[in-house]
Structure 1
Amino acid sequence: MKAGTNMKIAQKTVYVFVLLAITMVTRLAGNNTVLVTTVGNSSVLTCLIKGQISMLTWTITPKVGGPCTLVYRTDRNMTHRANCSDNINWKFRADLAPALEIQQVGIAQEGNYSCEVASTDGNFRTMYHLTVLAPPRLSVYCDEQGSPVCEAAVGKPPAQLSWVPGSSSSAEERCHDNGTVTVLSKFTACSTHGTNVTTCMVSHAAGNWSQAIACCPPEKTNFLLYACIVACVLIITTSLAAIYYFKLHSNGLCHRTKPPEIAPIHSQQDDTMEVEPYTTYVQKENVIYNSVSDLTAGQNFPQHLCQET
């Protein structure tokens, strides 16, 4: 019995908390309207108007940067703005209160927009939360290993990627300063066909896209690459070896060849030097002979002695 009673009390407590949560969400939804738009579009925000307005004020609090204020006074037909970008301005319409217009919405305009109206029926406030979607830029390509890669760049929120046929690869995310995210996914499933024909499926809040690609198998790609590298290395090595061989052979021939014999230079002075000793010798012999002849003649030696001499 006690256990059953405690169970009923716990259930009632849960119901109370659920009702309170629903009430809070309902109130927030009534006072804060969520607007969703895409980058590049235009948005028009209006205020709740009751009675004759005297002043209308917009206060914008973006996620990045300082607040922006726009004021309109009906009694003076005067407008004022402070720290607002050029694409945010008033939109005046016939027989209607001025509205706030955002032309070519960018990610920088995402944030909270508050409108306060002072009128004869009282003061009224309207809240908006502007969410800006950035469609990703889709690109599909083959990496160095021949595997398909899908890239959904600078999307907000991050895109969801999938492959057809299915793949077991996980997505990689890179966050950017402006709040966008780039998602990369590589197709890892093996294919038994000549090419991997795959399709990348992109799911995003701004739309859905798909793109197919066919990549060559990694085995063929690597084989051709290696074959080209080996062929180039062989050609270069053979050329260098041939150049070295011919250069070495030509140097050997140059060393082994005897230099041509150069005939000695025969000058007239050398001939004179060779003839002079012989001339001197003949002259001396003549002098001796003449001396002996003279001596013999002076002493009257017998004729036969002269002849023997």
Structure 2
Amino acid sequence: MKAGANMKIAGKTVCVFVLLTITKVTRTVGNNRVTVTVGSSSVLTCSPKSNITMVTWKINPKVGGSCTLGYRADQNKTDRTNCSDSINWKLRPDWDPTLEIRQVEIAHEGDYTCEVVATDGNFHKTHHLTVLAPPRLTLYCDDHGVPVCEAAAGKPPAQISWVLESTSIPKEDAHDNGTVTVLSKFTALSTNRTNTTCIVSHPAGNQSKSIACRPSGNERVNLHVYVIPCFLSIITFMAVIYYFKLHSDRLCRKTRPPETAPTHSPQDDTMEVEPYTTYVQKENIIYNSVSDLTAEQNLPQGLSPAT
């Protein structure tokens, strides 16, 4: 039992010793964040040590495959695997293991780790390379005379603002290479579009441009199309109101004729008397005729009524 316990203790002691040895031999010099702009050059240092046995740069970009640069002092030989010509030693690796990237591109973004093997131990240092792409600023007037600001192919996306406050919400269009184009239209409530300034803010540098836009011919035509019918409608409406008002006044001014007593003309009396006169005359004629007949009947023979 005691022998078994002693073996366990010995095993633990060996493990602790190995871990301490590895920790002492392999040292992490540190991590470094590097930011560089597209088109410039970047220099990544490695811990210079005396009595270097071997140096290895391991490059792991965010996009694409990894590459390796190596140097062996015992053979005085360098080799490279899958690395482009823009990535190389700055000087001779046996003098200085510094790495240089010429004409940095977005594809170079990633992690660059330098591993050094020397007589006094192993060392490694990692650089996190971030590539900035400044956007291309374009400011123009659209077909309606509205200022449009475009920050094309920026990395990271640019921030657009206007000197005159605008309510526009920028639109972003992402590209396959990691860049983003930002578009913003000036939509302030004010109709004054003279000397409108667009400001583009970006880590690679700020930019600004000014422009004066005027309403286009199409906008003026559209304005006429809406204004002229509206104006004609108003005139027609006012003419109709005036017409009805004028005629209503005339109707109101007309008065009813005064009521007068009917006139009595002699002709009407004559017309009323004539039937009665005719009737009396007829009665008289009949009466006379009857009287004459009666008289004839009562006279002696041989006598005739006097005429």
TM range (shorter): 0.5 to 0.7
Q: Quick one: distance in 2 between partners of 1:150 and 1:192? A: 17
CA deviation string 1:205-247 (max 9, x = no partner)? 00011000111136x641247879xxxxxxxxxxxxxxxxxxx
1:105 paired residue number:
104
User: What's the offset of the Cα at 1:97?
Assistant: 1.8
Secondary structure at 1:222's aligned position in 2? helix
Tell me if structure 2 keeps the 8 A contact 1:196–1:217. Answer: no
Secondary structure at 1:128's aligned position in 2? strand
Aligned CA distance change for structure 1 residues 153 and 112 (closer, same or farther; 3 Å):
same
1:200 paired residue number:
198
Aligned CA distance change for structure 1 residues 196 and 30 (closer, same or farther; 3 Å):
farther
1:222 paired residue number:
219
CA deviation string 1:235-276 (max 9, x = no partner)? xxxxxxxxxxxxxxxxxxxxxxxxxxxxxxxxxxxxxxxxxx
2:262 paired residue number:
none
User: What's the offset of the Cα at 1:204?
Assistant: 0.3
1:130 paired residue number:
129
Q: Quick one: distance in 1 between partners of 2:80 and 2:224? A: 70
2:245 paired residue number:
none
Aligned pairs, how many?
A: 198
The amino acid of 1:91's aligned partner reads K
User: What's the offset of the Cα at 1:144?
Assistant: 1.6
When structure 1 is superposed on structure 2, of 88-97 and 62-71 the one drifting more is 88-97
Secondary structure at 1:66's aligned position in 2? coil
Q: Quick one: distance in 1 between partners of 2:85 and 2:50? A: 31
Q: Quick one: distance in 2 between partners of 1:164 and 1:71? A: 53
Q: Quick one: distance in 2 between partners of 1:125 and 1:36? A: 20
2:282 paired residue number:
none
User: What's the offset of the Cα at 1:196?
Assistant: 3.3
User: What's the offset of the Cα at 1:92?
Assistant: 1.3
1:272 paired residue number:
none
2:161 paired residue number:
162
User: What's the offset of the Cα at 1:112?
Assistant: 0.3
User: What's the offset of the Cα at 1:51?
Assistant: 3.1
Task: Give identity over the alignment, percent.
Answer: 61
1:60 paired residue number:
59
The amino acid of 1:222's aligned partner reads E
Aligned CA distance change for structure 1 residues 212 and 131 (closer, same or farther; 3 Å):
same
Q: Quick one: distance in 1 between partners of 2:223 and 2:187? A: 23
Tell me if structure 2 keeps the 8 A contact 1:146–1:221. Answer: no
2:15 paired residue number:
none
Q: Quick one: distance in 2 between partners of 1:176 and 1:94? A: 38
Query: Is 2:211 the counterpart of 1:213?
Result: yes
Q: Quick one: distance in 1 between partners of 2:103 and 2:49? A: 30
Q: Quick one: distance in 2 between partners of 1:64 and 1:185? A: 30
Tell me if structure 1 keeps the 8 A contact 2:196–2:212. Answer: yes
User: What's the offset of the Cα at 1:96?
Assistant: 3.5
TM-score (structure 1 length as normaliser): 0.60
Query: Is 2:82 the counterpart of 1:83?
Result: yes
1:148 paired residue number:
147
The amino acid of 1:40's aligned partner reads G
2:116 paired residue number:
117
The amino acid of 2:111's aligned partner reads N
User: What's the offset of the Cα at 1:190?
Assistant: 3.3
Tell me if structure 1 keeps the 8 A contact 2:39–2:104. Answer: yes
CA deviation string 1:93-124 (max 9, x = no partner)? 59842311100000000000010000011100
- The answer for unaligned runs of 5 or more in structure 1 is 1-28, 229-309
Runs of 4+ in 1 over 6 A off after TM superposition: 225-228
TM-score (structure 2 length as normaliser): 0.61
The within-5 A match list for 1:7-46 is 31-46=30-45
The amino acid of 1:197's aligned partner reads N
Tell me if structure 1 keeps the 8 A contact 2:152–2:180. Answer: yes
1:277 paired residue number:
none
Tell me if structure 1 keeps the 8 A contact 2:38–2:106. Answer: yes
Q: Quick one: distance in 1 between partners of 2:177 and 2:148? A: 24
Tell me if structure 1 keeps the 8 A contact 2:29–2:124. Answer: no
Tell me if structure 1 keeps the 8 A contact 2:69–2:78. Answer: yes
